[in-house]
Amino acid sequence: MTNQKTVVVTGGTRGIGHGLALELLKRGNNVVICGRGQSAVNSALTELNPAATDGARVAGTTCDVTKHDQVQALWGLAKKEFGDVDIWINNAGMSNTRFPIGRLPQDEVDAVPAVNLVGTMNGAQVALKGMEEQGHGALYNFEGFGSNGMKQHGMSLYGCTKFGLTYFTKALIKETKDSPVIVGYMSPGIVITDLSLRDRGKMPPDRWEYVKKVFNIIADRVETVTPWLVEQVLANDKHGARIAWLTSRKAAGRFIKSRFKSPGNRFPELDLTDDQHAA
């Protein structure tokens, strides 16, 4: 494959990151993933290996993105295994329990900003430095709920990290306008993953029914969103591009359509019992 690229996906052991890695490998690109636990990394590599085509390979390692030296080691692994790194995707992220800030456990208050903001900053610093030295590359940061300033009950902590991350990305785009590195955003919209379902057994029933209704209207599956995101990233050559699956227009259209036709239960897993969900 003459156009084979090497792509680093942080947090690529599950959810959207895992889906991105899978689609990249299917298209013959080398992928490097990371996760916080060795067992998760090993399991992901076992699942991803069979998807590789055209001689592509996947490598992975443990990495706490809040630790700069570990992120630097991730870059080093990619360089050692594949040479130049063409694309770096800061996907690793963490959500909080959907409680008001006064009810959140302190470990979440500490961890969510650390992973979402400091982790992205570490990834950006390492990738930009390395890509500028090699003379080319592309860096993408993941947007999420709150990036546009939207507010929702129980999402103040997570939302503010994504709002800050969008500011950070805008600043990077300006700072790198004369560099050989492309910087942009990725925005998957609402995707059903283990993180989005983590609060199923913690919310009051009426609150969960509301969340489930919203999910059924505008949420999508990993396998629906990630092929499109990967195609857009591989094709993009524009600095400052925002690669967004769920645009405001698309979301508004889905809500309007839902007024005339119920979307039904598009995600059977939303009705799992607490015990099944915990498993």
- Catalytic residue positions? 158
Q: Which residue has the tokens 């590359």?
A: 137
CA distance 211 to 197: 10
Q: Which amino acid belongs to residue 43?
A: S
Three-state secondary structure call for residue 174: helix
The per-type count for the chain, helices as H runs and strands as E runs, is 10, 9
Q: Which amino acid belongs to residue 261?
A: K
Across the beta sheet with 137-142, the strand order is 58-62, 30-35, 6-9, 87-90, 137-142, 181-187, 242-244
Question: Is 176 within 8 Å of 128 (Cβ atoms)?
Answer: yes
Question: Is 215 within 8 Å of 145 (Cβ atoms)?
Answer: no
Question: Is 263 within 8 Å of 213 (Cβ atoms)?
Answer: no
Concatenated DSSP letters for 6-19?
Answer: EEEETTTTSHHHHH
CB atoms under 10 Å from CB of 28, counted, come to 16
Instruction: Give 267's contacts (C-beta < 8 A, 6+ positions apart).
Output: 192, 215, 216, 219, 221
User: What φ, ψ does residue 254 adopt, rounded to 5°?
Assistant: -70, -40
